[in-house]
């Protein structure tokens, strides 16, 4: 079956702009998690959605937001972009994200903020 897909794969924006990233989970998966990966901080958890509801949230400012649609596809939005938002944004899907559910990661969206 098809894996997790993320669009776009690469994005260049300037400070102050906003951006929307998209994630399509594996068919049948209802949980989608988002992570930010940078060389300095590694992978940091942004938020997790399950059945259109945000279940968990990491320690990121309110400029970072997300949503999930009824077909489990998810989007994340970053407003008023800062240079420090340059990172690889990864989404991961799992059946339920309970206990040892395996998370399957997409290839990520590489965001560069100039």
Partner 1 sequence: TQLLEQSPQFLSIQEGENLTVYCNSSSVFSSLQWYRQEPGEGPVLLVTVVTGGEVKKLKRLTFQFGDARKDSSLHITAAQPGDTGLYLCAGLYGNNRLAFGKGNQVVVIP
Which residues sit at the interface with partner 1, rule CB under 8 A?
Answer: 4, 33, 35, 41-45, 48, 56, 90, 92, 97-100, 102-108
Query: Using only C-alpha atoms, what is the Rg of the chain?
Result: 13
Residue 89 structure tokens: 């944004």
3-state secondary structure of 84: helix
To which H or E segment does residue 87 belong?
Answer: strand 87-94
Nearest-approach distance from CB 91 to partner 1, in angstroms? 8
Nearest to partner 1 of 87, 90 (CB atom): 90
C-beta of 80 vs 98, nearer to partner 1: 98
Q: Minimum distance from CB of 56 to partner 1 (Å)?
A: 6
**Residue with smaller CB distance to partner 1, 66 or 106:** 106
Q: How many helices (H) and strands (E) does the chain have?
A: 0, 11
**Cβ(74)–Cβ(91) under 8 Å?**
yes
Least distance (Å) from partner 1 to the CB of residue 49? 13
In the complex, minimum distance from the CB of residue 15 to partner 1, in angstroms, rounded to a whole number: 26
């Amino acid at each position: 079956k098809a894996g997790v897909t993320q669009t776009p794969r690469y994005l260049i924006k300037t400070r102050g702009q906003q951006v929307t990233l998209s994630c399509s989970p594996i068919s049948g998966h209802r949980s989608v998690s988002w992570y930010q990966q940078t060389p300095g901080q590694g992978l940091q958890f942004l938020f997790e959605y399950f059945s259109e509801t945000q279940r968990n949230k990491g320690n990121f400012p309110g400029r970072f937001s997300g949503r999930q649609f009824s077909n489990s596809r998810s989007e994340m939005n970053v407003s008023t972009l800062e240079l420090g938002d340059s990172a690889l944004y990864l989404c991961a899907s799992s059946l339920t994200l309970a206990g040892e559910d395996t998370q399957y990661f997409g290839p990520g969206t590489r965001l560069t903020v100039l």
